[in-house]
Amino acid sequence: MKKKMSITLVLIVVVVLFVGCGTSKTEAKMKAALLTGGPVNDGGWNQLAYEGLQKLEVAGFEIANTENVSQDSQKCY
């Protein structure tokens, strides 16, 4: 009898955990942004960063990109 009660209790706990851990239907989309001090086709760091940003977009991220941001303007971000 104790074994049957223990199994029933474990099953109830497992069911409650699965019901309580459901995913929400309105999942927020992840966002990523890139500010570069030069063009993204420079063949260097800016281009590599931009290619990484594009891969994030393929993975489902919402992305934003701004090129040629001056040093003074970068302080605002």
pLDDT tens readout for residues 8-58: 766 676 667 666 666 666 677 899 999 998 999 999 999 999 999 999 999
Largest CA distance in the chain: 75
Whole-angstrom distance, CA of residue 66 vs CA of residue 37: 9
Tell me the domain boundaries of the chain. 24-77
The closest alpha carbon to 68, from 52, 46, 51, 48, belongs to 46
Q: Is the pTM of this model over 0.85?
A: no
Q: For position 54, what pLDDT does the model report?
A: 95
Q: For position 11, what pLDDT does the model report?
A: 67
Whole-angstrom distance, CA of residue 51 vs CA of residue 63: 12
pLDDT tens readout for residues 49-62: 999 999 999 999 99
H helices of the chain, where?
A: 2-20, 45-58, 71-74
